[in-house]
């Protein structure tokens, strides 16, 4: 019998144990994982149980006091205890000045954050530029604005903060999805911008595409019409409005996250 003991999930210790057991053609050894051991009394109970079998204990306990208790209790009952994490943490300590955090489950937290970030990035791509209205209900945040107000870069930046954001372009000739009017205000962000700056941005965009810079898309009259329409949608939806004139995406995102998290805290109270 091999007891795999951890103050977290215990996946690391079990993986190492199974790799070692495989060298003995599995040897008909039973492996029992015991996760989330954070109290001395729990450790003593497991050691007492293990004493009733021909067994060893493989463990990943990051708290030094818990490691010490396990080693002492196992030694008193002649049970071999194998520390998977402790020696490596001590060895790393000899080549770095950083103090170990000694916090259980850190690797799992890092993995979860990574996959949430990937999921948010995929979401931002899938629901970019109003491609699919279903994203509105599924999103943590929905960004509204006329063309070239920086909706897509903002959503991608938010995705790296693990926020699933969709964006909807506002065009006077196309009614916005009705779903946006059902969202809480803190989950709906409208982007406004100085008209002349928007004209300049659109003209540069047209040039980059090899199109005439004086096309209707970049004319002042068209820009003013679109911005006026956007303001009506903002007012009807009750969304928070951010002026992105001369703002970097990081600055805009900071304001968006402040609005979002404040709203989430208010709803949870």
Residue of 105, 107, 96 whose CA lies nearest to 36: 105
* Coil, helix or strand at residue 31: strand
241, 192 contact by CB (below 8 A):
yes
* Rounded CA separation 45/55 (Å): 15
State residue 101's pLDDT score.
Answer: 61
Whether 99 shows a pLDDT value over 80: the answer reads no
Q: In the 8-state DSSP scheme, what is residue 244?
A: -
135 is an annotated ligand-binding site residue:
no
The CATH number for 2-104, chosen from 3.30.450, 3.30.1490, 2.60.40, 3.40.50, is 3.40.50
User: Cβ distance 43 to 5 under 8 Å?
Assistant: yes
34 in a labelled binding site: no
**pLDDT tens digits, residue range 145-158?**
999 999 999 999 99
148 known ligand binder: yes
Average pLDDT over residues 192-200: 96
Which segment of 3-7, 99-103, 186-190, 215-219 scores lowest on mean pLDDT?
A: 99-103
Neighbours of 226 (CB within 10 A): 22
Where does the chain hold its CATH 3.40.50 domain(s)? 2-104, 112-268
Could you tell me how many residues make up the chain? 269
- For residues 61 and 47, what is the distance between their CA atoms, to the nearest angstrom? 14
Cα angle at 130 between 250 and 124, to 5 degrees? 45
Residue 90 has pLDDT above 80, yes or no: no
Q: Of 101-110, 141-150, 197-206, give the lowest mean pLDDT range.
A: 101-110
Q: What is the pLDDT of residue 179?
A: 92
Q: Give Cα separations from 101 to 63, 64, 78, 96, 221 (angstroms).
A: 10, 12, 31, 13, 59
Q: Is 210 annotated as a binding residue?
A: no
pLDDT given at position 23: 80
**CATH architecture, domain defined by 112-268:** 3-Layer(aba) Sandwich (3.40)
What is the tens place of the pLDDT at every residue in 169-187? 999 999 999 999 999 999 9
pLDDT of residue 27: 58
Percent of the chain with pLDDT over 90: 59
Residue 193 has pLDDT above 60, yes or no: yes
pLDDT digits (tens, 9 = 90+) for 11-64: 888 888 888 888 876 557 888 998 888 889 999 999 999 999 899 999 888 888
149 is in an annotated binding site: yes
Q: Is 151 annotated as a binding residue?
A: yes
Tokens of 240: 């928070």
Residue 145 known to bind ligand: yes
Yes or no: say if 236 and 176 are a contact pair by the CB < 8 Å rule. Answer: no
- Is 93 or 120 the better-scoring residue by pLDDT? 120
Which three-class secondary structure state does DSSP give residue 50?
A: helix
């Amino acid at each position: 019998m091999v007891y795999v003991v951890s103050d977290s999930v215990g996946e690391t210790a079990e993986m190492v144990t199974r790799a070692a057991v495989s060298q003995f053609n599995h040897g008909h050894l039973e492996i029992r994982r015991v996760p989330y051991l954070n109290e001395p009394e729990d450790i003593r109970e497991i050691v007492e149980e293990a004493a009733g079998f021909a067994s060893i204990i493989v463990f990943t306990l990051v708290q030094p006091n818990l490691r010490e208790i396990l080693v002492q209790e196992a030694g008193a009952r002649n049970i071999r205890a194998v520390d998977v994490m402790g020696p490596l943490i001590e060895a790393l300590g000899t080549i770095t000045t950083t103090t170990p955090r000694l916090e259980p489950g850190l690797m799992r937290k890092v993995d979860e954050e990574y996959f949430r970030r990937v999921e948010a990035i995929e979401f931002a791509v899938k629901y970019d530029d109003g491609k699919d209205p279903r994203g509105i209900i599924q999103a943590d945040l929905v960004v509204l604005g006329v063309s070239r107000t920086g909706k897509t870069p903002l959503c991608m930046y938010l995705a790296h903060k693990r926020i699933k954001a969709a964006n909807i372009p506002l065009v006077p000739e196309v009614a916005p999805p009705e779903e946006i009017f059902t969202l809480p205000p803190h989950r709906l962000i409208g982007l406004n911008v100085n008209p002349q700056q928007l004209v300049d941005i659109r003209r540069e965009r047209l040039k980059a595409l090899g199109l005439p810079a004086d096309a209707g898309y970049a004319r002042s009259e068209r820009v003013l019409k679109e911005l006026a329409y956007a303001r009506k949608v903002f007012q009807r939806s009750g969304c928070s409005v951010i002026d992105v004139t001369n703002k970097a995406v990081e600055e805009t995102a900071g304001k968006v996250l402040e609005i979002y998290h404040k709203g989430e805290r208010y709803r949870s109270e």
